[in-house]
Amino acid sequence: MLSNMKHWMLIILAIVAAGCSVKNNEGSFAVSGKLKNVKDGYMILFFKSNPDGSTATIAVDTLKNGCFEFTAPAEKGVQYHILAPHIGIFPSMSLDFYAEPGVEVEIYGKDYLTRNWEVQNAGKDQKIYQSYFEEVADIFKDLQLLELECRRDERSLDYLRLNKPYHAKIDSIRLDWLKSHRKVSEAWMDIMLESAKSAAFSKDKASLNELQQIWKKVAPQHKDSPKGKQVSTVLYPDGEPLKAGDTFPYGTKVYDIDGNEHLLDEFKGKRLLLYFSSHACKPCVGVKKELEEIVRSGKCPVEIVGFNLDGEASWKVGSKSRPVIWPEFNELKGSFGLFRRFETPGVPTFVVVSEDGIILDVWTGARAGKLLDRINEAL
């Protein structure tokens, strides 16, 4: 995430428009896109999922004469994505695909439904991923149409409720696909990770159990890979859910920005505010500024301990440009470590802990100028 026709419509088109073909060098691959019934001028974003779960932008192009094009170094096992960041005009879902050195990935679309654009690529992982996606393509098409309808009618909250049956169908089909396709590949690992995350977020214990059974039969070399470690983290959480009144788990292992390992028992005996954030979180920018003002005012009644949920690479890059004035750590488990146990909907999330190690309050979100009041109320 990094995050996905009626009858998966294979649009067999020839690229005849000038500017829709690009050359690639050895060790790289090219992407050429040709869209129909989509207006020119829209931005097309090309990015990838890193092994640690973070994402990185590769390039941006603007749709011209129905075409877009990119060239990038080919990386083994990396999932690539195309997204049109014009929410409401395009759906928020990306087109996901794989590539190999020397290939030219050809993308065709006949509408604004990005997730269902066709990918032509002879690579092994793309073929494996395609065999899965063809089974859920119709559902994704309907899901994108639902999203655009809700956004057009300003019913975004309705979409969050109405999309659940669609995702339940996708989850079921994806699980069946994993049961019948046991040969592990990079694409298979991504599908497994996507399935595990969905089951974890929806608290589907039955599906989690079935996924655990599948995972038990995966060879150790795959489990020890970066993707494999992510899957294991999601499938086997570190403990039961945590809430106000519970004892805080000081034994949690975390890492600082230099890669040094720490245990949270370093903070025993102190009143704490745990602040979970991400560099991709826009509200976190305002929260960071407000917390800094509270600390500098001398009125902060707690010691702030930051927890960044980004992948290692994104965390380190973001921390250089946006450093904090309190200790900040990362479990390198994304949102599936300690954060997951608090069962909150997102970031920014705050947890207040007493000197005695009792969790006093847990909440998500912050009203501007009210953060200090909320902390004092918890104490």
326-367: pLDDT as tens digits: 999 999 888 888 998 998 888 999 999 999 999 999 999 988
Q: What is the pTM of this model?
A: 0.75
Phi and psi, residue 362, nearest 5°: -140, 130
Average pLDDT of the chain is 90
Instruction: Give strand pairing partners of 107.
Output: 33, 119
Instruction: Give strand pairing partners of 298.
Output: none
> Is residue 285 predicted with pLDDT exceeding 60?
yes
Identify the pLDDT of residue 1: 34
Residue whose C-alpha is closest to residue 352's, from 270, 239, 279, 265: 270
Q: Cα dihedral sign for 328, 329, 332, 337? A: negative
Residue 67 and residue 34 in contact, taking contact as beta carbons nearer than 8 Å: yes
> Is residue 91 predicted with pLDDT exceeding 80?
yes
> Is residue 223 predicted with pLDDT exceeding 80?
yes
Looking at per-residue confidence, does 19 or 301 come out higher?
Answer: 301
Structure tokens at 91: 């759906």
Tell me the CA end-to-end span of the chain in Å, nearest whole number: 37
Helices 205-216 and 164-180, interaxial angle, to 10°?
A: 20
Identify the pLDDT of residue 2: 34
Q: Cα dihedral sign for 59, 61, 66, 69? A: negative
* 332: Cβ contacts below 8 Å, ≥ 6 apart: 52, 255, 311, 312
> Is residue 75 predicted with pLDDT exceeding 50?
yes
* 325: Cβ contacts below 8 Å, ≥ 6 apart: 292, 295, 296
d(CA 343, CA 347): 11
Residue 115 and residue 92 in contact, taking contact as beta carbons nearer than 8 Å: no
Amino acid present at 30: A
Average pLDDT over residues 103-131: 93
Average pLDDT over residues 247-263: 95
Domains assigned to the chain: 28-121 (2.60.40.10), 163-235 (no CATH), 253-378 (3.40.30.10)
Average pLDDT over residues 206-234: 93
> Is residue 19 predicted with pLDDT exceeding 50?
no
Q: What is the number of alpha carbons within 13 Å of residue 43 lying toward its C-beta?
A: 8
Identify the pLDDT of residue 15: 31
* 7: Cβ contacts below 8 Å, ≥ 6 apart: 137, 138
Amino acid present at 333: K
> Is residue 21 predicted with pLDDT exceeding 80?
no
Confidence of residue 6 (pLDDT cuts 50, 70, 90): very low
Identify the pLDDT of residue 216: 95
> Is residue 18 predicted with pLDDT exceeding 80?
no
Q: For the ranges 44-58, 161-175, 193-207, 350-364, which has the lowest average pLDDT? A: 44-58
141-181: pLDDT as tens digits: 999 999 999 999 988 889 989 999 999 999 999 999 999 99
Q: Cα dihedral sign for 293, 298, 301, 305? A: positive
Phi and psi, residue 298, nearest 5°: 80, 10
Say how many residues make up the chain.
379
Identify the pLDDT of residue 16: 32
The 10 Å CB-count burial string (b at 16+, else e) for 263-291 is ebeebeeebbbbbbbbbebeebeebbebb
d(CA 94, CA 253): 34
Identify the pLDDT of residue 11: 28
26-41: pLDDT as tens digits: 689 999 999 999 999 9
Amino acid present at 359: I
Amino acid present at 274: L
Give the best-scoring range by mean pLDDT among 236-240, 311-315, 369-373.
369-373
Identify the pLDDT of residue 12: 26
